[in-house]
Every structure is written in structure tokens, then in C-alpha cells.
Structure 1
Amino acid sequence: MNKIKDMSNSQIRFIRVLWCDNANIIRAKAVCVDSVKDQEVAVGISRGQQGVPVMYDGVVSGCGLDPVGEITLKGDMSTLTPIPYAPGHARVMGDMFHEGKVWGNCPRGFLKKMITKLQKEGLEVKAAFENEFYLLKQRENNNHENISNGLSVEPSDFTPFSSSFSMDLNHDIIMDIVEALIAQNITVEQYYPESGPGQHEITVGYTHALQAASNQIIFRETVKAIASKHNLLGSFLPKIFPDKAANGCHLHLSLWKDDENILNNPECKYGLSETGKQFIAGILHHLPALMAITTPIPRSYRRIRPQMWSGAYQVWGLNNREAAIRVIRDDDGKIRHFEIKTVDASANPYLALGVVIAAGLDGIKEKMVLEEPVQLDPATLSPREMDEMGVKPLPGNMGEVLHNLEKDEV
């Protein structure tokens, strides 16, 4: 099948080759369809590109990368999709190659490596990122929240959680976002206005790990682009307004073997299979270090606070929304997936999902024991009770998580 010819016939002029860098900036170079040969879309980028931060266009000193050397960014043609909100443009996700091999600093390559390691154990992860985002109006004065370089914003509306009126107010933009997601082969499951004014949540369906990470890239791109067309800002920043709800991006996971979800086992303690318990135990054990990747900016720690449903304690629980890992038991008593709350959209999804798989796999290999679930709000415990139950607060700043990451050999 000649995908490039099909694109040309459908009036696609450019194919964007996307990559999400280590700073979580989604970047692209666009190749004109007429210049594509041999069904391969590829562009060159500098080796130093993965060392460029959010703040400026320059390689961070001492990061181990420099402007010398070229990386080939090859489009994964299985991800080729027209962009519904950008007529004439299509998109592919790029894989980074150096001297014919996957480059060690490729985030997609890292996730693929972790998926392969899991497959060697006969296992597969299916996942979905659960995004919260704000729709914001821009203001030129300083009487509103300042989020970047003098840019002041206020919420697009001031309605409460799950307000039907908010659905009416935001009908057009939400419908445009949802239709664009569906056109890009993303399954949309639910939508509702969230707790913050102008805040919304759209949940998408589970899929294979690599596709789930790519879907997160598409989701962010789509929300921001559609919001711009409606003269609004779409923001996934973990904490925008000091006194309003934060934006999380909880990661939902299930564990599969031979095309069967193996998390549930009614004959095992808590209804969790032994493999499932070990996988979750590994993630929980490494969580204080994982957060350097899953909640990687200072504002992430303004979100993770006790009694904010953000998972501020290193505990797990059954249907406990204050636990860092919430194991979800459905009405029929079965466990089909679990949720990690210490994730936000400032994380590169390929890296975030990759480190979570690595931690879970370590739990399986080391046969880690999952401690007792915490079935109450940990913040209500006294220091003595916390000590007796082994309840520990998770790191509260970047310095702590970076220190933990340096110590964590996995």
C-alpha cells in the first residue's frame, strides 16, 4: 500500500515528523510529500537537540550532549495520520537513529526497550493517560494569574465540578476537540467539566503501551490547537491558580498475558494476582525516584498535596483516591486496572511509561511483597499511626526526587 501516494491524493502537502524531547516539548519538522522517496519520511536533527531545555534554545552545559553530531529522525509509517485541524498536514511519530541503530537518547526507543523486556517475561501492559486541562482567556493586565513571561490568564468560565451548564458554555470547543481526537483514531470514553473553573477532563480508551504514549502526544497537540482556534489557551500545567484545582494526568495500567488481563484473581489476597501484586509493589517501591520523570517540574509539587486526591503518600489502596496507587475494584468485584496519581502532563509520556514498566518489572523479578492497602485518608493519621502502618509522605520538591533518582539503580 502506497501511503505517501494516498496522502498526496488526499491533498496532504506536508508530513510532520514529531518528536517529544527530554524537556517534554513536542517538536516537528515537516517534509513535503512531493520530496518523499522510497516510502520513508526522515529528517535530521542535531545530537544536542535532546539537551535543549524549556527556557532557551541552547544545550544545557554538562548534560553530556553537544551540537556536534547528527541524528536521523525516521517516521514510523504505522503512525501516519492526517491532522484534522491542520488541512494539508499529516503526522508521523519519529524514532531517533544514530549510525543505523536506535539512539540511546530516543524516548520512544526507551519505551520500546522496556516493552520488549516485559514481553520476554510473557507480559504486556495496556495503558491510558487521563488528562485534565484548563481553557483560559488571555489578559494583558496583571490582575490575573501570571503563568509565563507576563502572560496573564483567567478561566474561560466559573462553573463547578460536572456542571451541565459548563457543558453548554463549552459545547463547541469540546465537540471540536472530541471530533478531532476521533478523526485521529483515538477512542474517547467520557467527558466532564472538572473541579476548577474552566477545567475539563476527557478520558480516552486503553491501548498498547507505545500507542498510549503516542496518543498522549496527539491529545496535547489537539487540545492546544483547537483551543487556539477558539481564541483560548489550553493548558496542562500542573498548577495554574494557587487556590484552584490542579491538573493531573493519572496513568491507568493493566497487565496482560496471552491476551488475557491477569490483574484479577479472586483466590489471591485483595483479589490481585501474585504477578499483579509484584508489579504494583515494584512501582510503589521506586515511586520516590520515578517522580523525577513522572512529575518533573517544580509546579508538579504544588499539585501533590495531602487531601487533594493527588497521591501525596507512598501507599496503595482499593478505590482510595488519596493513595498514590489506586487499585480499582469494579462493581462486579473484579480488578481490571489500577491508577498512578503521581503523573502530570509535564512528563514526556514515553519516558514516564517506560520508567513505570521498568519499576513494575523489577518488582516481578525481585518478587517484591505488596504491603497492606491503606483504606483511609493517610492525612488523618497521627505521626505514631503513620509510623505503625508504614505510611510515608512522598517527596515534596524536585531536589528530593532528583536525589532519590540518583540513588535508584533500576
Structure 2
Amino acid sequence: MTESADYVISACRENDVKFIRLWFTDIVGALKSFAITVEELEKALEEGMGFDGSSIEGFARIDESDMVARPDPATFQLVPWRPRESGVARMFCDIHHPDGTAFEGDPRQVLKRQLKRAADLGYTFYVSPEMEYFYFKDSGGRVPLDRGGYFDQISDAGSDLRRETVLTLEAMGIEVEYSHHEVAQSQHEIALRYTDALTMADAAMTYRLVVKEIATTNGVYATFMPKPMADQNGSGMHVHQSLFKGERNAFFDVSDEYHLSAIARGYIAGLLHNARALTLVTNQWVNSYKRLLPGFEAPVYLSWARRNRSDLIRIPEYKPGKETHTRIEYRSPDPACNPYLAFAVMLAAGLDGIENERQLPPPVEGNVFELRAEERASRGIATLPGSLIEAIEVAEQSPFLRSALGDHVFESLIANKRIEWDRYRRHITDFELAEYLPIL
């Protein structure tokens, strides 16, 4: 029994924990869990707990369904919204085959593989996602709680909900940097403090659950749907990211105009080069592409700049003496993605740019949306996929994405998304009925 496992067992005794929920995700980022009693905890920590993986999206086929969930003791936390008497704790799990080998379809393992690749090059990957979401009065409609806007205080009907959410996150060991009302009506954001990508992926999954739990407890509904209202901004997940070598930020160079090192420039070039392929992972739903439209503060064009928020990649302003804060902000992902896979493919794209010494094009400091199509073409500014089917077709032809995800996840994700697209094509929307039925 390891020291961390001993700590978990001791913490359960001290806090009267009766149930431990074992958490993991399927390929589309849906949180899955099952509970064990504290009496089974020692066995779970030593051997893992077996389960049937055949019904988990993107996991095994029926003829190879046996899986083992091995809890990670470092992720042990009490669940604050459950009763303290005979309480509940949670741990994230890595999924293995019964023979002990890592399951290639486990999103957490996909991220770990890319993190090891970075570590072999001497890097630690740090991220901080800005995950936006909406509060509605219930799940059956889209009635907002307020008509407030960016940073509004007086019109902010969700401030108490955010406060309770922040306190719950911090009780679970997740540090919060700030929270506020976002641009759209009843839209909100809670920013998590920068940390390593694996810890952050676990935190992002916890964040989504806590936001929804606190909302439900207070009689409202929270959603991370990318674009729930046609006339309002959608919800993004802008991902701030950087590579460190020990205590040194590998992205910083004092002599560069943008204070970006050659490593940072290669990383950005890799993201731009592979952006179209990785969009299926960062924006995986049919609805994701309703957000990626001009005019709603979401990026469409493959460009980068320092001050311009219309670009796909923004370089936050450097502050003297804050070298460790040098980072890039990748702006296209939405908060309904699988954070393990999203962080993995962004890191893989950046490392591809570094290892292959890809050249970074000039920045685009003007509003990209205002450039004429001919001007964008002359400057080599391509676009993100405009629909789920386009993203699927781009991804299918990408050796980079297959390598980053591994064959199992790559093929399972493509198959899942084709099914979603086929279902969407068969659906007759309210728009079509209102627009065409009276006249055709």
C-alpha cells in the first residue's frame, strides 16, 4: 500500500466516509461513475474495480467488455453537497485491461501519453480554461435568469449561485482565480487557476458537475451547451497554455517583440497548422458550429495576434516581471468538449510545431472579420470547419489526429460523430417548418 493510498484510507476514517464514487469519462466527455463502500476501498486501491465497459461510449465491444477502474489516490476529495454523516468521497480513475495494461480508449490515458511525450522533451504542460455556461429557469426552455451583460453587478441574478459554486470548488481543492457575469444574458464564467493539464482536466470535469449540482439545488438549470440562444453569444472554453522547463517558462523571451521564445512560436505554428483537424475534438457537437460564426466573439479564422480577440490565438499582454505568466490563449474550444482529449490534442499540435520547426505566419492585429475574402486568401488565412460534417471529414484525413488520439479513440470518435451527424440530418427543425411549410 502506497503512502497516498494510506492517506485516503485514513481520511475516510477521519471524515466518516461510507461511499466512494469512482469517476471516469467516456470519449465524448460524459462523466461516468459507480460507488463502492469504504469496506472495498483497500481492494480498489490495490487491484482496481472491475466493470462492464461494453455500454460505455467509445469503450470496448461486447466480446472484450471487461475493464478495470484503478482509482488515483491523488484525486481523493470529499463531496461537499452530500451529507457529512456516512459521507461520500470521489476519486478519478484510470481504466485498464484485466491484464493490467492501460486501456487505449481511456481519455485520461490519452492525455497522459501526450504529457509523457512532453516530459520526455523536458516540458511540463500548464493550462487554465475559461469555461462559460448559462443559467436558465429550467431544463425545458431557455428563459434566462437576468438580462445582464459583461461584468454586470446590479443585473446579475447568478452571483449567489456563482459564490456557492466557488466555495464548493475550493472545498474540493480546486483553486478559483475569479468569477463574473459574461456578455450574454444569464451567461457566467468561473476561471480556474493555472495548473498542470492532468490536474486541470480532472478539475474541469468536477467544475461542470459542481455548477450543475449547485444550480439544481437552487431550483434552476445550468448548461454548457455551446450555443443555446441564436441571438446571444455562445459559451466558449478559451484555453490559456504554456510549457515550462522546471521553474522556467519556456514560452518567454525578453528580446522578442511579443516576448515569445522560438519554442512558443513553434508551438503556436503547430496549433495553427493542425487547428482544422483538432476542431472535431475541441468542438465536437453539431451545436458547436452554431457558436463558431462571425459576429459573436467566437473565432473562425486561423490567425494569431496580441490584442485582437477575433483571432484563433491571442497572446495576452506581457507585464514586466511576470515572465512566468507568458502564455497563449486558444479561443475556439467550447466547454462541452472532453477536456482530457482537448488538452491532449492541443499539446500534441504544439509539440508538432516545435519538433518540425513549423514557421509562424505574421500576426493579424486588425479585425479578421472585416478583411475581404481575397485579402484573407492572399495572406493564407484559412478557416475552421464550418459544420460537424466538415470537421469529421477533415479529421478523418489527418494522420496527426490519429496519432495524437491513438487508433481506438480516433476511430470511436469518428464513428460516434457520424452517427450524431446522421441523426441531425434526419431531424426537421422548427426553422424549416416555419420558413418553408407555409410556402412550399
What TM-score comes out, normalization by structure 1 length? 0.90
Report deviation, 1:50: 3.9
Report deviation, 1:9: 2.9
Matched ranges for 1:140-151 at <5 A: 151=140
Residue of structure 2 in register with 1:56 after alignment: none
Check the 8 A contact 2:302/2:383 in 1, yes or no.
Answer: yes
Report deviation, 1:101: 0.8
Q: Give the number of the structure whose residues are more often strand, by fraction.
A: 1
Q: What's the secondary structure of 1:27's corresponding residue? A: strand
> Which amino acid in 2 is paired with 1:40?
L
Report deviation, 1:359: 0.9
Q: 1:375 to 1:82 in 2, by over 3 A?
A: same
Check the 8 A contact 1:127/1:209 in 2, yes or no.
Answer: yes
Residue of structure 2 in register with 1:143 after alignment: none
Q: 1:376 to 1:45 in 2, by over 3 A?
A: farther
Residue of structure 2 in register with 1:144 after alignment: none
Residue of structure 2 in register with 1:202 after alignment: 190
Equivalent of residue 81 in structure 2, options 79, 85, 92? 85
Whole-angstrom distance in 2 between the partners of 1:30 and 1:101: 23
Residue of structure 2 in register with 1:46 after alignment: 52
Report deviation, 1:5: 3.4
Residue of structure 2 in register with 1:120 after alignment: 120
Q: What's the secondary structure of 1:179's corresponding residue? A: helix
Whole-angstrom distance in 2 between the partners of 1:171 and 1:160: 13
Check the 8 A contact 1:17/1:43 in 2, yes or no.
Answer: no
> Which amino acid in 2 is paired with 1:112?
K
Check the 8 A contact 1:159/1:198 in 2, yes or no.
Answer: yes
> Which amino acid in 2 is paired with 1:375?
E
Whole-angstrom distance in 1 between the partners of 2:7 and 2:197: 27
Check the 8 A contact 1:186/1:204 in 2, yes or no.
Answer: yes
Report deviation, 1:351: 0.6
Give deviations 1:138-158, integer Å, cap 9, x for gaps.
27xxxxxxxxxxx22311122
- Does 1:22 pair with 2:27? yes
CA RMSD of superposed structures (Å):
1.8
Check the 8 A contact 1:29/1:43 in 2, yes or no.
Answer: no
Aligned length in residues: 388
Moved more, 316-325 or 265-274: 265-274
> Which amino acid in 2 is paired with 1:8?
R
Report deviation, 1:339: 0.9
- Does 1:370 pair with 2:367? no
Equivalent of residue 38 in structure 2, options 29, 33, 36? 33
Whole-angstrom distance in 2 between the partners of 1:67 and 1:297: 29
Residue of structure 2 in register with 1:153 after alignment: 142
Check the 8 A contact 1:50/1:105 in 2, yes or no.
Answer: no
> Which amino acid in 2 is paired with 1:123?
Y
Give deviations 1:366-406, integer Å, cap 9, x for gaps.
01111111101111111221122111221110111111111
Check the 8 A contact 1:378/1:391 in 2, yes or no.
Answer: no
Whole-angstrom distance in 1 between the partners of 2:186 and 2:386: 27
Give deviations 1:65-109, integer Å, cap 9, x for gaps.
336420101110110000111231111001000020111001111
Give deviations 1:138-181, integer Å, cap 9, x for gaps.
27xxxxxxxxxxx22311122222111134x3333221101001
Whole-angstrom distance in 2 between the partners of 1:18 and 1:339: 29
Q: What's the secondary structure of 1:95's corresponding residue? A: strand
Residue of structure 2 in register with 1:4 after alignment: 9
Report deviation, 1:269: 5.1
> Which amino acid in 2 is paired with 1:291?
T
> Which amino acid in 2 is paired with 1:111?
L
Give deviations 1:316-349, integer Å, cap 9, x for gaps.
1112111111111234496611111111122111
Residue of structure 2 in register with 1:398 after alignment: 388
> Which amino acid in 2 is paired with 1:71?
M
Q: What's the secondary structure of 2:76's corresponding residue? A: strand
> Which amino acid in 2 is paired with 1:387?
A
Whole-angstrom distance in 2 between the partners of 1:340 and 1:404: 19
Report deviation, 1:7: 1.0
> Which amino acid in 1 is paired with 2:14?
N
Whole-angstrom distance in 1 between the partners of 2:174 and 2:7: 23
Matched ranges for 1:274-353 at <5 A: 274-332=262-320, 336-353=326-343
Give deviations 1:201-232, integer Å, cap 9, x for gaps.
11110001100111101100110001000011
Matched ranges for 1:93-242 at <5 A: 93-98=92-97, 99-138=99-138, 151-167=140-156, 169-242=157-230
Residue of structure 2 in register with 1:354 after alignment: 344
Whole-angstrom distance in 2 between the partners of 1:39 and 1:2: 14
Check the 8 A contact 2:142/2:228 in 1, yes or no.
Answer: no
Q: Give the number of the structure whose residues are more often helix, by fraction.
A: 2
Check the 8 A contact 1:250/1:344 in 2, yes or no.
Answer: yes
Give deviations 1:344-370, integer Å, cap 9, x for gaps.
122111011011111111111101111
Whole-angstrom distance in 2 between the partners of 1:23 and 1:118: 24
Whole-angstrom distance in 1 between the partners of 2:264 and 2:383: 24
